[in-house]
Chains A and B, each alone.
Chain A
């Protein structure tokens, strides 16, 4: 979407001096040239959210609870996954995360495994993606740099937990 980002200290550059604007109190103004450029449509994020939700629901059902999709719990989780994808700003993502944790509680014996770490990472992805998708309309063009902080946070948190799980598993 955006071809360049550049910092500029004064408002009178780039031939746009005629626009009046208040002083920026010393803070640099960041100019972004919007147009066709590196970026992707917002519905890609919605698609990613759907995949992550489905992954978390199916993983907790099949591996965690040992239940099939055609059970009450299966219908519930798949329904919540669909609701999360459609309405990420609603309470559905919270219910999905709590539902997955409940399914996990029902099915397994309490041991910590790599599967637990992967499911935890998926739940974090559900949390972050639903938070972001709530503010990004599907028709919007998303600048790639805009998602970098969220990606860094995901890698930090999920990585820390996965490493912890690995250490716990090995020990």
Chain B
């Protein structure tokens, strides 16, 4: 984000081209008269003729004083969501007398002032107009408050005799909501008697709506045995029904630290920059080449964005995915940060709750403060606690165990981008990373020993990890 204030492009100013016409006319005519050479008049004639066509409008604009100074501003039609394309509307005013207008158009939230477009001004249009509106699709990367556009303006009259700008337009920023990754609901740890609640969810559990039959397993309640199937087959089957309960999911965020890979920078050496620039210039030839170049650039930025994901980014991704999955399943979900600056989104369900969750996450910031004791998390009895943490200190692991000890079902989702950190690490990081890995491994072992599944968000396939973890936990018991 730029900190410099907006500076309007200012009034129309004369350029070197304006004085060139006068100079060439005087020089050519004077030299021709002085030397008696009519061919010098011929050399100056086209420029003087072009001046005769363009200067009257220039004089009228410069000294007539009727027209408003050109300006630009941008607006967004609707809310923005990460990893999407949305239109930005750039409005240029006072360009009736301009022949060419160059404006910076945003390309992505990562490059909001990077792309430039030169457009016909008011005089170059069939119907002269004071206003121009430029529509541009912007790719949205990241989440939270993002700079969307800064439409700097540069305009010239015919043959560049007068010029306005470039000015520094007002920046517009927008709160970008985190995108939602498609994720199946987590298979929750089993609980005797099902999940208590008042409405039918789409989760298998204690209820009356039959899904199917499965083989009887020791521990199944006798009232759930399907006796007719037993009479026909001579084998015990258990009814699987839709739960009439609602699971209450408390998403607890440990965002005290932001850990991420070292910044992988773009080429910085002069030679590297020159080679990259040359390659880009060559690839710009033709519309198809330009389109390909744009796509390549966007792919590169996508990869760069991904390689820079921090534990905060992974937390936001994981929370939106898990919240959306469980809210889609009819569960009630709450979100809170569990540090001393506790922020909380109360329990809720339905589609509006996922929007609330995303707004909540858009304002998420990291504060390096103490973790709140579990008794102050205000967890409702029986709530399933999903703790999102990079597990870089003992406090988070201890909190997970404390929540488990208070009778909650606890799942820990590890949000440390370890692979990304390792990929971008340097030799000097080896010792610190080795210590971090060992300490984290021991910590995770302790959490697992308490019967708490630990899932690693960076590795993906979170539901498979959960299923494996549940099997592992049963084996431990």
Enumerate chain A interface residues (CB-CB to B < 8 A).
1-2, 5, 7, 14-21, 24-25, 27-39, 41-43, 89-91, 93-94, 97-98, 100-101, 104-105, 108, 110-112, 116-117, 119-121, 123-124, 127-128, 130-132, 134-137, 139-143, 145-150, 153-154, 156-158, 160-161, 164-165
Q: Does B214 contact A (CB under 8 A)?
A: no
- Determine which of B31, B42, B78, B160 lies in contact with A132 in the assembled complex, contact meaning CB atoms within 8 Å: B160
* A119 closest partner in B (C-beta): B43
Stretch at the interface among B44-52, B187-195, B375-383, B388-396: B44-52
Q: Which residue of B lies closest to A18 (CB)?
A: B77
Chain B's closest residue to A89 (CB) is B16
Which residues of A have CB within 8 Å of B115? 139, 141
Known A-B contacts: A18-B77, A27-B129, A35-B137. Give 7 more (CB < 8 A): A33-B134, A105-B31, A112-B38, A130-B17, A131-B20, A143-B118, A153-B159
Set of chain A residues within 8 Å of B450, measured between Cβ atoms: none
Other-chain contact of B20, A93, A116, A119 (Cβ < 8 Å) = A93
In whole angstroms, how far apart are the Cα atoms of A78 and B102 in the complex? 30
B249 close to A (CB within 8 Å): no
In the bound complex, how far is the Cα of B17 from the Cα of A5, in angstroms?
29
The minimal Cβ–Cβ distance linking A38 to chain B, given in whole angstroms, is 7
A133 CB to closest chain B CB, in angstroms? 8
B19 within 8 A of A: yes
**Bound CA span A149–B158, Å:** 8
What residues of chain B lie closer than 8 Å to A33, measured between beta carbons? 134-136
* Given the contacts A127-B50, A156-B53, A116 and B125 also touching, CB distance less than 8 Å: no
CB distance from A91 to the nearest CB of B (A): 6
- Complex CA distance for A135 and B340, rounded to whole angstroms: 54
Q: How far is the CA of A149 from the CA of B98 in the complex (A)?
A: 11
CA distance A150 to B37 in the complex (A): 29
Q: Is the CB of B77 within 8 A of A15?
A: yes
* A-B contacts, 14 listed (Cβ < 8 Å): A7-B127, A31-B134, A38-B287, A89-B16, A111-B39, A116-B42, A116-B43, A120-B42, A124-B50, A136-B100, A141-B116, A143-B117, A150-B158, A153-B159
Q: How many whole Å from A9's CB to the nearest CB in chain B?
A: 11
A117 to B43, CA, bound (A): 7
- Nearest CB to that of A100 among chain B residues? B43
Contacts of A165 in B (CB 8 A): 42
Query: Knowing A19-B89, A34-B117, A94-B23 touch, does A134 contact B160 (C-beta < 8 A)?
Result: yes
- Which residues from 180 to 234 on chain B have a C-beta closer than 8 Å to any C-beta of chain A? none
With known contacts A29-B131, A29-B133, A30-B133, A157–B42 Cβ distance under 8 A:
no
B50 & A153 in contact (Cβ 8 Å cutoff): yes
CA distance A26 to B344 in the complex (A): 50
A36/B102 contact (C-beta < 8 A), A18-B78, A116-B43 known: no
Query: Quick one: which of B277-329 are within 8 Å of A by CB?
Result: 281, 284, 287, 290-291, 294
Which residues from A are CB-within-8-Å of B45? 120, 161, 164
* B residues at A contact (CB < 8 Å): 15-17, 19-21, 23-24, 27-28, 31, 35-40, 42-47, 49-50, 53-54, 75-78, 87, 89, 91, 96, 99-102, 105, 115-121, 123-125, 127, 129-137, 154-156, 158-161, 163, 281, 284, 287, 290-291, 294
The 4 closest A-B pairs by CB, nearest first: A131-B160, A19-B75, A131-B17, A140-B116
Quick one: given A32-B133, A127-B159, A150-B159, are A42 and B16 in contact (CB under 8 Å)? Answer: no
B149 CB to closest chain A CB, in angstroms? 12
Q: Flag if A161 contacts B49 (CB, 8 Å).
A: yes
Query: Is B23's CB under 8 angstroms from A98's CB?
Result: yes
Q: Assess the B43–A120 pair: CB atoms within 8 A.
A: yes
Report the minimal beta-carbon distance from A136 to chain B, rounded to whole angstroms: 5
- Identity of the chain A residue whose Cβ is nearest the Cβ of B35 in the assembled complex: A105
Contacting residues, chain A, for B117 (C-beta < 8 A): 1-2, 34, 39, 140-141, 143
With A89-B16, A105-B31, A131-B156 as contacts: A142 and B118 at CB distance below 8 Å: yes
A33 to B155, CA, bound (A): 18
Question: Hey, which chain A residues are within 8 Å of B23, CB to CB?
Answer: 94, 98
- Interface centre among A1, A5, A14, by most chain B C-beta atoms within 10 angstroms, is A1
Q: Which of A25, A101, A165 has the most CB of B within 10 A?
A: A101
| Interface pair B46/A124, CB less than 8 Å apart | yes
- Of chain B, the residue at the smallest CB distance from A25 is B130
The 8 Å CB contact of B134, one of A34, A91, A116, A164, is A34
Instruction: Kindly state the separation between the CA atoms of A131 and B19 in the bound complex, as whole angstroms.
Output: 11
Partner of B118, one of A24, A146, A148: A146
